């Protein structure tokens, strides 16, 4: 991925390397098209992007009119920092009218991607109404859901929580974003969205 040029330079001694940029939905789409071009599977890449756009539009149709005002806390990653995926996902939620993240603006880090400290005090003050926490086994954030501050949020009191530990296997691409979006919708409005974690809606019928 972008930011790991030193790794690329070393691996290129063995084979050509394509660096993936995960900085936003449009960039992820462009990455799929690039991979389709590199592998001779452009038609499949175009179909995957079309399926993504169709599914997102379909899911957004059922959102309440005021869903964009929902205060959302998002935590992706394997460190104690908010990584770029969170920023991308937050922009995606807002663009789709699904919610507004409560994290502050994230400055550039030494890796070129926005990062910010994960502060429980800020979470209590912001009091998110819904929470998306994506971790995986061995990640530093996997134990963060046991923090006392977690129990003080409206999201926890109302049970509007997407707390999953299996998304790491999906990488940092559109598939992970789609899965997290579906998990968020089910946590935020379970009476409307009753398919948490079901990736079938995103995959080809013959998958």
Per-residue pLDDT of 35-79, as tens digits, reads 899 889 999 889 888 988 888 888 888 899 999 999 998 776 554
Band the pLDDT of 89: cuts 50, 70, 90. Answer: confident
For residues 134 and 100, the model is more confident at 100
> Is residue 47 a part of any domain in this protein?
yes
Per-residue model confidence (pLDDT) at position 138: 63
pTM: 0.75
Instruction: Supply the mean pLDDT for the chain.
Output: 75
H/E/C letters for each residue in the chain? CCCCHHHHHHHCCCCCCCCCCCCCHHHHHHHHHHHHHHHCCHHHHHHHHHHHHHHHHHHHCCCCCCHHHCEEEEEECCCCEECHHHHHHHHHHHHCCCCEECCCCCCECCCCCECEECCHHHHHHHCCCEEEEECECCCCCCCHHHCHHHHCCHHHHHCCEEEECEHHHHCCCHHHHHHHHHHHHHHHCCCCCCCCCCHHHHCCCCC
- Tell me the residue range of the domain where 188 lies: 5-202
Least confident piece of the model among 69-73, 166-170, 198-202 = 166-170
> Is residue 207 a part of any domain in this protein?
no
Would the pLDDT of 106 be above 50?
A: yes
Band the pLDDT of 148: cuts 50, 70, 90. Answer: confident
Q: CATH number of the domain that 163 lies in?
A: 3.40.50.1980
> Is residue 108 a part of any domain in this protein?
yes
Number of structural domains (the chain) is 1
């Amino acid at each position: 991925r972008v930011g790991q040029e030193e790794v690329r330079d070393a691996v290129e001694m063995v084979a050509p390397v394509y660096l993936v940029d995960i900085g936003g939905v449009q960039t992820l789409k462009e990455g799929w098209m690039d991979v389709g071009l590199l592998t001779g599977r452009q038609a499949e890449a175009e179909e995957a992007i079309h399926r993504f756009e169709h599914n997102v539009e379909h899911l957004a149709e059922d959102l309440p009119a005021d869903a964009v005002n929902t205060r959302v806390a998002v935590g992706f990653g394997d460190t104690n920092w908010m990584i770029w995926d969170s920023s991308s996902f937050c922009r995606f939620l807002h663009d789709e009218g699904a919610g507004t993240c409560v994290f502050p603006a994230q400055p550039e880090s030494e890796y070129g991607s926005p990062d910010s400290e994960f502060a429980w005090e800020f979470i209590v003050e912001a009091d998110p109404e819904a929470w998306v926490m994506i971790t995986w086994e061995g990640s530093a954030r996997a134990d963060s859901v046991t923090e006392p501050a977690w129990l003080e949020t409206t999201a926890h009191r109302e049970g509007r929580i997407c707390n999953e530990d299996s998304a790491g296997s999906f990488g940092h691409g559109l598939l992970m974003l789609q899965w997290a979006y579906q998990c968020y919708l089910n946590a935020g409005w379970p009476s409307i969205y009753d398919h948490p974690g079901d990736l079938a809606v995103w995959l080809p019928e013959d998958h």
